[in-house]
Amino acid sequence: MKRALVFGVSGQDGAYLSELLLGKGYEVHGTSRDADLQSFGRLAHLGIRDRVEIHSASMRDFRSLLQLIVAIEPDEIYNLAGQTSVALSFSQPFEAIESIANAQLLLLEVLRFLGKPIRLYNASSSESFGTIPPGTASDETMPFVPRSPYATAKSTAHWLTANYRDAYGLFACSGILFNHESPLRPERFVTQKVVGAAAAIASGKKMRLALGNITVARDWGYAPEFADAMWRMLQQEQPDDYVIATGEAHTLEEFVAAAFKAAGLDWRDHVDTDPTLFRTSDIRYSRGNPAKAKRVLGWEPKTRFEELVTLLVNAATPSTPSS
């Protein structure tokens, strides 16, 4: 039985990854800064809370990380922890660097110190690419041009991981993940605001949805499928970095239209554009090229855009009580 340690186990990706690993027969351990105060609602939602062993650990404390890894003796480590919000990183840039870049450096140092054949996955981000020309797609060779403290921290963690792989021989991979959604996505993300509003309005709630720039384009995929790509990276003979994406870009306007259509509504009757919500640093266009992941990992997305949006709206729609 393989043993996995998941940092950030309480988040969307941590929950789906844990579910996948358990299905493959792994013993799964997860962490929280204070396990006694965390509800782990996403693990409970998937029905796996009692099957994941939770530990309290700080990713800002070398000794804490060292003691935890020595005690668990994992075969694989997945670092999905750290600040997850681009918007929040502008108001808390120090937290972004501390929780993402510095935390990854400490983890790499622990693995270098131990010298054991532990395989490490690092959650990199498409935000590191910044805005690219419409019609193009980012692959593993494209340079990073981060436009936020979050993206800067992710870029730093990415290159630290590559450096430790090359300099110290660690089996360390980075998954450059593009936007990936699910019903477990936190409410602060715009996709959840959109599907939540569409479902609420369809159920009779009188409200309007205010959004910023709806011309921005993103590459949206389905989170459980992206968790499968993470696992595949650590099963290869050689460590490497991979773009994980659908290869399709859609505007936020298209997302909104699809969500309200799935709820039986015309979005133009319920949505307002608010210029105060525009951000000058917003990435205008983002699309990934997952060709390498398909060629090497045998991975490709299965859930396409319209299906994904409908899935999200259905999950957000209140169930009708049976008579």
Q: Spell 267-282 as b/e; 16+ CB within 10 A means b.
A: beebbeeeeeeeeeee
Q: Are residues 203 and 159 in the same domain?
A: no
Is residue 254 included in any domain, yes or no? Answer: yes
Q: Are residues 176 and 209 in the same domain?
A: no
Is residue 208 included in any domain, yes or no? Answer: yes
pLDDT in tens, 164-180: 999 999 999 999 999 99
For the chain, what is the mean pLDDT? 94
Q: How far apart are CA 126 and CA 313, in angstroms?
A: 25
Is residue 262 included in any domain, yes or no? Answer: yes
Q: Which among 121, 42, 10 is positioned nearest to 74, based on CA atoms?
A: 121
Is residue 276 included in any domain, yes or no? Answer: yes
Q: Are residues 131 and 235 in the same domain?
A: yes
Is residue 54 included in any domain, yes or no? Answer: yes
Is residue 58 included in any domain, yes or no? Answer: yes
Q: Are residues 172 and 81 in the same domain?
A: yes
Residue 157 has pLDDT above 60, yes or no: yes
Domain CATH code at residue 265? 3.90.25.10
Residue 38 has pLDDT above 90, yes or no: no
Is residue 84 included in any domain, yes or no? Answer: yes
Is residue 293 included in any domain, yes or no? Answer: no
Q: How far apart are CA 18 and CA 228, in angstroms?
A: 10
Q: Are residues 132 and 259 in the same domain?
A: no
Which residues form the domain of 213?
A: 186-218+249-286+303-316
pLDDT in tens, 284-299: 999 999 999 999 999 9
pLDDT for position 37: 64
Helices (H), ranges, 73-135: 86-91, 93-96, 103-114
CB 74 within 8 A of CB 68: no
pLDDT for position 143: 97
Q: Are residues 135 and 196 in the same domain?
A: no
Q: What is the average pLDDT across 45-68?
A: 95
Residue 258 has pLDDT above 90, yes or no: yes
pLDDT in tens, 125-147: 999 999 999 999 999 999 999 99
Query: Could you tell me the pLDDT band of residue 35, with boundaries at 50, 70 and 90?
Result: low
Q: Are residues 56 and 144 in the same domain?
A: yes
Residue 323 has pLDDT above 70, yes or no: no
Q: Are residues 102 and 166 in the same domain?
A: yes
Half-sphere exposure (Cβ direction) of 42: Cα atoms closer than 13 Å: 20
pTM over cut 0.85 = yes
Residue with tokens 């990183």: 89
Count structural domains, the chain: 2
Provide the annotated active-site residues: 125, 127, 150
**For residue 125, what are the CA distances in angstroms to 62, 140, 155, 183, 321?**
24, 12, 8, 20, 41
Q: Are residues 89 and 160 in the same domain?
A: yes
Q: Is 221 exposed, middle or buried, given 0-12, 13-18 or 19+ CB atoms closer than 10 A? A: buried
Three-state DSSP at 130 gives coil
Q: Are residues 168 and 55 in the same domain?
A: yes
Domain CATH code at residue 150? 3.40.50.720
Residue 36 has pLDDT above 90, yes or no: no
Q: What is the largest CA-CA distance in the chain?
A: 65
Q: Are residues 102 and 145 in the same domain?
A: yes
Q: Are residues 122 and 211 in the same domain?
A: no
